[in-house]
Structure 1
Amino acid sequence: MSQAVVAVASHNPVKIRAAEQALAHSFADRPWQSRAHAVPSGVAEQPMSHEETRQGALNRLAALRQADPEADYYVAFEGGYDRLDGVPCTFAYVAVSDGHRTRVGRSAPLPLPPVIATRLEAGEELGPVMDDLFQQHNIKQRGGAIGILTGGLMDRASLYQDTLILQLAPFRFPELYPLNAE
């Protein structure tokens, strides 16, 4: 059985692991190999709205398809910030494609403390804010804000993985999700 290739729009090990695990669980009959690519999002380092975050994921996906046209699947993640009903939150958009079908979904939102929201709204990025506030280094390549604020009950990889698994349903059952109905 030949290996299937997933191209991932990041060198961040959290994102690579999430993509690999989601595809391995969703398509367990195939061995998976990942190829990481640093591709631009075309949006701010810290996207500040749902729209900007979603666009960043789609931009990365398009750039990824150009960078690695022979992959079987393409996955891009983009973390962002916005206020939901006035509550400051972080979340991610996940975009996935097999070259024919593309799906985009948003993760569950994580409410953020006001001290973090104030700094993000002043122009800082979530990862460095979390590093500073919790006296750690490179949190975003480990559990992220999610890991710290949930006390380790969840982390970035698990949230990204679960969101991607949900978006893979139409790829697992294409007969139930006609391309022209998406």
Structure 2
Amino acid sequence: MRVVIGSKNPAKIKAIETIFSQYKAEFIVMDIPSGVAEQPFSDAETIKGAVNRAADALYSGEGQIGIGLEGGVEKTENGLFLCNWGALVEKDEPPIIAGGARILLPEEVADRLVKGEELGPVMDDYAKKQNIRHNEGAIGVFTNGQINRADMFTHVAKLLLGQYEYRHVKRR
């Protein structure tokens, strides 16, 4: 099975490789643009970014499966929430889509995002660290390390894989 991952982000790659570990999978990692804003600002935009990455990865990498994982934020009446979505695309099939954990972002972070900044650099500044998006992510900072970005995306990837397996078992 040739699995094309639409991102070179280490947390996203680790998530996909972890959940496909029971398969004989060849992984192709490609830097696929999401086709949405650098900072997706709704579930709809974040989903679109994940689907775009998955579809473009599938065809660009000539795989059997393309996977896109995308992080974003969703504005609610309770404040700005971190969100994450994933998509798994196969040729001639509708995309499989799944979402994951959500946490409320602190106002000082949310305010900067609303003003147009991107979460990654805001988090580096907020936590006084570098490359948080490639390591623990905002989720890791705000859950005191209980959940990191790879864990968060692993959960989404498991939801994708489970639906993929169901799709193929159901047809037998």
Normalised TM-score (structure 2): 0.91
1:38-69 per-residue CA deviation (whole Å, 9 max, x = no partner) reads 11111110011111111111111221122112
Q: 1:67 aligns with which of 60, 64, 86?
A: 60
Aligned to 1:124: 117
Query: Which amino acid letter does the alignment assign opposite residue 82 of structure 1?
Result: E
Q: Find the partner of 2:29 among 24, 36, 52.
A: 36
Q: Does residue 1:95 correspond to 2:87, yes or no?
A: yes
Question: Is residue 133 from structure 1 mapped to residue 133 from structure 2 by the alignment?
Answer: no
Match of 2:19 in 1: 22
Do the aligned residues in 2 keep the contact of 1:5 with 1:35 (CA within 8 Å)?
A: yes
The Cα shift of 1:31 comes to 2.6
Report the residue type matching 1:85 in the other structure: E
Deviation of 1:100 (Å): 4.2
Alignment-derived partner of residue 8 in structure 1: 5
In the TM superposition, 1:134-149 aligns within 5 A as: 134-149=127-142
The 2-side partners of 1:93 and 1:170 are apart by 14
In structure 2, stretches of 5+ residues that fail to align are: none
Contact 1:92/1:107, CA 8 A, preserved across alignment = yes
Match of 1:156 in 2: 149
**Aligned equivalents of 1:92, 1:39: Cα separation in 2:** 17
Question: Contact 2:55 / 2:66 at 8 angstroms: preserved in 1?
Answer: no
Query: What amino acid does structure 1 have at the position aligned with 2:41?
Result: M
Residue in 2 aligned with 1:86?
A: 78
What SS does structure 1 have at the residue aligned with 2:68?
A: strand
Q: List gaps (5 residues or longer) in structure 1.
A: none
Report the count of equivalent residues: 170
- 1:163-174 alignment to 2 at 5 Å? 163-174=156-167
2:51 alignment partner, one of 58, 65, 84? 58
Letter in 2 for 1:87: G
Which SS does the other structure have where 1:45 is aligned? coil
Q: Secondary structure at the match of 2:4?
A: strand
How far has the Cα of 1:6 moved from its partner? 1.3
Aligned AA (2:139): I
Equivalent residues of 2:82, 2:103 under 8 A apart: yes
Q: What is the RMSD computed on CA atoms of the aligned residues?
A: 1.6
1:66 & 1:105 partners in 2: Cα distance?
21
Q: Which runs of 4+ in 1 moved over 3 A?
A: 175-178
Q: Distance in 1 between matches of 2:152 and 2:70?
A: 12
User: So what's the TM-score if we normalise by structure 1?
Assistant: 0.87
Residue 47 (1) aligns with residue 44 (2): no
